[in-house]
Structure 1
Amino acid sequence: MSLIVSFRQRRWIVAACSVLAFGIASFGGGLAAIAQDQPAAPNEARAFAEVLREWKAIDADLDRLTNAYSEATEVELRRTLLAEYRQKIAVSEQKLAELRSSALAEYRETPNKDADVTRVLLGVLDDSLRRDRYDEAAEVATLLLDNDCPEPALPDMAGRVAYCRDEFAKAESLLKQAQEANKLSSEGERLLEDVATAKTSWAREQQIREKEATANDLPRVALETTKGRIVIELFENEAPETIGNFVSLVEKRFYDGLAFHRVLPGFMAQGGDPAGNGSGGPGYEIYCECEKPNHREHFRGTLSMAHAGKDTGGSQFFLTFRRTPHLDGRHTVFGRVIEGLDVLAKLQRRNPQFNRGLPEPDRIVKAEVLRKR
């Protein structure tokens, strides 16, 4: 195994090392105008300042370890440095949560009074967005927007968060605001181009979900994973054959112990492969139901069939982190997450294309049918 690949990939997956560097260095266009005449209460200021100091020390250690690893030539030394780095990453995750909490508390008490607090929150917002933690990102974005944070990049970031949470009308308003201020990112521009279509699709989806809620009879399956519980409602009205196959596999305990072998940031988590590398299946193939006139579309938390071409699906599926319109009509949507969206954000990101140094995948501990028609 290539240790340098593992080293870099873990840093990319966690992404914690760059939060403060991004937050403090990249933002500030509108922060210079923040008033400084009303500092935060002393106790809160000390709490935030102390956590920030500890965070910076951890970040410096991570940089030191990265540099030392890149210069090391002895295999044993590299292993030692890698082990130390992994331990420090775990500490950094805990400290990042503390930093977020302390910054939120201080900002709520005295919004826009401490530029460092605001910059940290913007960095945390960006980090949460990059790591598909959209609800956490929305909490920060809403707080900053409600308090008229003057950062020019905020409407673009908040608009992207809203889009990822299927809040398309809100996303459109914010992204247009960013566009008018000439602060629209390339990603924001792409989402803004889709938002009109997204609003129409989402309105249609909501009407269907309202009818489903009234009937309250769709099958449900629970996936107990190594990161938490996910409950999925299955779209038997639109994809009955796919549902029949999926439920049968669940009842046979086919999915128990299988990995989420492919989990890509900003996209989806794929699982259901007994081979664990994307090549396996149940030993047979099923027909696609994605070309039916009433086929469902891909939004946040959608359950859809993976395949290598039309009518080649079997057991592999994926769960989307956000709307993915390019898959509509090409993959059979057959359910949606109704509990455990936060678990999707926690699943270990990994790309099998990097065939060396891949982190251990999260797994389905147990799949269980909760309800059948």
Structure 2
Amino acid sequence: MNFKIASFLIAALLMIAVPTVAQETKVAPARAQFEEIFSKWKDNLKKLRDLNEKHTKVADDADVPEIRKEFKAIYDETEAMIPELRNRALSAYLESPNTDRDLTRMLISMASDALSRDMYSTAKPISDALMSNGCDEKALYDIAGTIAYSTDDFTAAEELLKEADDRGVLNLGKDVYPTVSEMKELWAKELEIREAEAKADDLPRVKLATTKGDIVLELFENEAPDTVGNFVSLIERGFYDGLTFHRVLPGFMAQGGDPQGDGTGGPGYNIYCECYEDNYRRHFSGTLSMAKSEPRDTGGSQFFITFKATPHLNGKHTAFGRVIEGMDVLERLQRIDPDTADGTVEPDKIEKAEVIRKREHEYVPNKAR
């Protein structure tokens, strides 16, 4: 356990305002359940703080391993409590919205923390609950707007980020705010395409069984037939089995499909880009796209899956599928940057890739010449 990092985390957690219970003869049920787990959580934080202080003052290095062992055990237990703590805090808030400012601010902090970890499916129910119940903490508009953008809710994102800008608190969403109007229009068109696809119900699907769970992808064969043909062909020959997600960047995407594991490998050939066609698909959350170098037609086997909309990639990389199951798996993939990795972080792997369904024709790569 890195005590320097842990110390910072403890300090950050302890800065969260501690919700207090109003003096009542009877505590509301949801509030009582929240107080129960919150009390245990605070006790653990105090233990961690005490152990951290003990570590800084230890006289005998022989005592360090035992302190670290105890610290890690309590730290892991405390981390494991957070989902339940979050759920109970939200239930307590919904039981009596906006009556305890400390609890409200704690939930805002939780939403912001989940956003920073790309845990959008966790963050959105919190921000939605706060906004729908009239929470007017000005910092929430920036956080909620950024969460909405990250989950393809561009209509809400536009309204919330404008409010954040008007109130002078636009921060987290400042980079995406200029693109939100365009993405709202593109999303409306994307939904029309998806509706037609659902009606036809014949697109190929594949499953990536990873070390963090299964990801099911539907492939855009109508717009990117060559890219899909190559991808399905590689899966059927077992090419991706055992390969890592060697590049997983926070707030961006997870990249895999490189047999070298460092971003330099491929299948031994390149395929044609299909992102220059008039009907190319755009990049939203959970989009499957081809990785390539700067020149066109340099993709091969490497792909990436976006965590959120990435409009700067539209028309530059071939979007050829989307996640239909397993967005939560993306949240859990080990973040790693091969440019700065020191070998201490173990990347997640594709244990097995398999084709779930496909159309009745042969799938082969159309190699670039």
How does the TM-score come out when normalised to structure 2? 0.86
1:246-293 deviation digits (Å, cap 9, x = unpaired): 101111111112111111111001111122222222222222222222
Q: 1:254 to 1:40 in 2, by over 3 A?
A: farther
Shift of 1:163: 0.5
| Percent of residue pairs identical | 49
**Following the alignment from structure 2 to structure 1, what is the Cα–Cα distance between the partners of residues 334 and 26?**
37
- Cα–Cα, structure 1 residues 207 and 168, in superposed 2: closer, same or farther, change >3 Å? same
The answer to whether the aligner puts 1:294 opposite 2:279 as a matched pair is yes
CA contact (8 A) 1:299 1:324 kept: yes
Give the Å deviation of 1:53.
3.0
Does residue 146 of the first structure (1) align with residue 139 of the second (2)? no
Per the alignment, in what secondary structure is the counterpart of residue 222 of structure 1? strand
Q: Distance in 1 between matches of 2:195 and 2:32?
A: 49
The offset of 1:115, in angstroms, is 2.8
The equivalent of 1:53 in structure 2 is 39
The CA deviation at 1:170 is: 0.8
Confirm whether residue 184 of structure 1 aligns to residue 177 of structure 2.
no
May I ask how many residue pairs the two structures share in their alignment? 358
Q: Note closer, same or farther for the CA distance 1:126–1:57 as it changes in structure 2 (3 Å cut).
A: same
Q: Give the Cα–Cα distance (whole angstroms) in 2 for the partners of residues 40 and 261 of structure 1.
A: 54
Aligned ranges for residues 248-263 of structure 1 at < 5 Å?
248-263=233-248
Partner residue in 2 for 1:20 = 13
Within 5 Å, which residues of 2 pair with 1:291-330? 291-309=276-294, 310-330=296-316
Task: Give me the whole-angstrom Cα distance separating, in 2, the residues matched to 1:274 and 1:265.
Answer: 23
- The aligned amino acid for 2:201 is N
- State the alpha-carbon separation in 2 of the partners of residues 202 and 92 from structure 1: 39
Q: C-alpha offsets along residues 142-190 of structure 1, whole Å, 9 cap, x if unaligned? A: 11112212311111111111111111111111111222222222x3222
Q: CA deviation at 1:191?
A: 1.9
Shift of the alpha carbon at 1:81? 5.7
TM superposition shift of 1:97: 1.2
Supply the AA of the counterpart residue of 1:367: A
Which residue in the other structure is 1:110 paired with? Answer: 96
State the secondary structure of the residue aligned to 1:223. Answer: strand
Provide the C-alpha distance between the structure 2 equivalents of 1:37 and 1:181, rounded to a whole number of angstroms: 35
Match of residue 28 from structure 1 = none
1:165 alignment partner in structure 2:
151
Tell me, in whole angstroms, the C-alpha distance in 2 between the residues paired with 1:283 and 1:67.
Answer: 55
| Cα gap change, 1:280 to 1:18, in 2 (>3 Å) | farther
Per-residue deviation, 1:68: 6.8
- One-letter amino acid of the counterpart of residue 174, structure 2: E
Identify the residue that residue 215 of structure 1 maps to in structure 2: 200
> Counterpart of 1:20 in structure 2: which amino acid?
L
Which residue of 68, 72, 79 corresponds with 1:93?
79
1:317 deviates by: 0.6
Counterpart-to-counterpart distance in 2, 1:334 and 1:70: 52
- The Cα shift of 1:211 comes to 1.8
- Cα deviation code 1:48-96 (max 9, x no counterpart): 2332233234334555666777888999777666555544442222111
Match of 2:365 in 1: none
1:353 aligned to 2:339? yes
Find the aligned partners of 2:22 and 2:310 in 1 and give their Cα distance. 43
With over 3 angstroms needed to count, the CA separation of the structure-2 counterparts of 1:150 and 1:229, relative to structure 1, is: same
Distance 1:72 1:292 in 2: 65
**Aligned partners of 1:40, 1:164: CA distance in 2, in Å?**
40
SS in 2 for 1:283: coil
Structure 2: 5+ residue stretches without partners: 360-369
Larger radius of gyration: 2
Distance in 2, Cα, partners of 1:328 & 1:40: 56
Across the aligned residues of Structure 1 and Structure 2, the Cα RMSD in angstroms comes to 3.0
Secondary structure, counterpart of 1:274 in structure 2: coil
Q: How has the CA–CA distance of structure 1 residues 86 and 271 changed in structure 2, closer, same or farther, with 3 Å as cutoff? A: farther
- How far apart in 1 are the matches of 2:290 and 2:57? 45
Moved more, 175-184 or 120-129: 175-184
- Inter-CA distance 75–221: structure 2 relative to 1 (3 Å threshold): farther
Q: Is the 8 A contact 1:273 1:279 kept in 2?
A: yes
SS in 1 for 2:149: helix
